[in-house]
Amino acid sequence: MNKETRILVTGAAGFIGGWITETCYTRGYTNVRAGVRKWSGAARIARFPVDIVLCDVMKPADVARAMEGVDVVVHCAIGSKEVNVKGTENLLDAALKAGVRRFVHFSTVDVYGTAEGDIAESTPFQYTGSDYGDSKIEAEKLCARYQERGLPVVIFRPSIVYGPYCKLWISKFAERLGSGNWGVFEKLGEGTCNLIYIEDLVDAIFLAIGNDKAVGQTFNLNGSEKITWNEYFRRLNAALGLPPLRVIGFGTSKLRTRVMTPLKSAARFVMNNFGDTVKALYRKSALVQRVMKGTEQSMKSTPGQGELSMFGRKPDFHIAKITSLLGFTPRVGVDRGIELSTRWYAHESGITHDIAASALNAAQAKPVSRQTETPA
């Protein structure tokens, strides 16, 4: 791939799409086109002199305009089940008509469902009823059909992608840790946390774009270091400068999640149907504000049933295929990746020290002799 290659990145306003767009530019690829669903999402990538275009994947006219003159498509846009399936089909169809030389599709290891143990690309799909995972399976099937029709497709199945600008695995868990209510989960948190740092993922993209051996292939993407979820929480917590985490007992974790699940559903129902009334009460009453803030914090700092299940599973997503075919080697270890991520979070939020002080006060208010929580 030469520096004049014309690259379209969909979902360029997102975490992965934004990183890819920026890295293309910083590596000297001057013909980068950043596709965004709406202009308000372009704030981050607008720092770079790249071509920003509207590309709502559900609008074929948007897609056709964005595809004009493009050599390579890197498809990162995600959304609802319809967006993930029909939106991908719209892109595939336009790419085939435009004679695109490489179509890189981002899928997910969620297509393997709840499988555990050694997982290679040949491991069968597993439908779970999850809109995200199931829709990604359908999108991959579409990719296979268009590959048969002559479109050069490459599919990536990344594991847990983290790094600066990551709201899900960095910002969300930093806030949970900072609440003072999060901890390590006895037995339930000993599953495998398969992390890949964002720069390693971007390296894999450039390898796939520049090597014809990638065409028609599907690749797992994972880091080289395997740690447990509990260890991830400990390392992230330490990097944030927070007090040591307490151990939350097996029974307590189960009980909290069981109690909080219907409350979360009820809160969503109330806000969806009576949001204006609730907001009006919130503005008028200090008591309502205190109650709502406390309830919100409790809900955010309690893992859902799906999360607890994930924290306990032990899948190992093999990367031998991409290593042997394309020479891919992850370069960023977990400690370095967390360090870089928390530096960004501290700069972005500006509240790290406040969080640390709050968590420390909360820890000091609890009996120090109690190391493990158990149900009352």
Whether 371 shows a pLDDT value over 60: the answer reads no
* Residue-level pLDDT at 305: 83
Range scoring the smallest mean pLDDT among 10-14, 273-277, 336-340 = 273-277
Mean pLDDT of 250-272: 64
| Cα 29–Cα 26–Cα 224 angle in degrees, nearest 5 | 105
Q: What is the DSSP string of 126-182?
A: ---S-HHHHHHHHHHHHHHHHHHTT--EEEEEE-EEESTT-IIIIIHHHHHHHTT--
Which helix or strand (DSSP H or E) is residue 73 part of? strand 72-75
Whether 362 shows a pLDDT value over 70: the answer reads no
Mean pLDDT of 139-168: 97
Q: HSE on the CB side for 135, CA within 13 Å?
A: 17
* Per-residue pLDDT tens digits for 34-48: 999 999 989 999 999
Percentage of the chain surpassing pLDDT 90? 72
Whether 302 shows a pLDDT value over 70: the answer reads yes
Residue 333 in 3-state DSSP? Answer: coil
pLDDT-based confidence at residue 294 (cuts at 50, 70, 90): low
What's the gap between Cα 346 and its chain centre?
19
pLDDT-based confidence at residue 361 (cuts at 50, 70, 90): very low
CA dist 132 and 312 (Å) reads 20
Tokens of 255: 């009980």
Range scoring the smallest mean pLDDT among 21-25, 29-33, 339-343, 351-355 = 351-355
Check: CB of residue 187 under 8 Å from CB of residue 8: no
* Residue-level pLDDT at 181: 86
Instruction: Give strand pairing partners of 197.
Output: 162
Strand 372-373 to 247-248 pairing: parallel
The sign of the dihedral angle between the CA atoms of 74, 110, 177, 192 is negative
Strand 102-106 to 153-158 pairing: parallel
Question: Domain 7-158 sits in which CATH superfamily?
Answer: NAD(P)-binding Rossmann-like Domain (3.40.50.720)
* Residue-level pLDDT at 30: 84
* Per-residue pLDDT tens digits for 59-106: 999 999 999 999 999 999 999 999 999 999 999 999 999 999 999 999
Mean pLDDT of 286-290: 66
Phi-psi label, residue 173: left if phi above 0, alpha if psi -120 to 50, beta otherwise? alpha
CA dist 142 and 78 (Å) reads 15
Mean of the per-residue pLDDT values for the chain?
87
pLDDT-based confidence at residue 300 (cuts at 50, 70, 90): low
CA dist 338 and 348 (Å) reads 15
Cβ contacts of 19-24, under 8 Å, gap ≥ 24: 19/163, 19/165, 19/198, 19/199, 19/201, 19/202, 20/74, 20/76, 20/202, 20/205, 21/45, 21/48, 21/50, 22/48, 23/199, 23/202, 24/50
Domain residue limits, the chain: 7-158, 230-311+333-373
This prediction has a pTM of 0.85
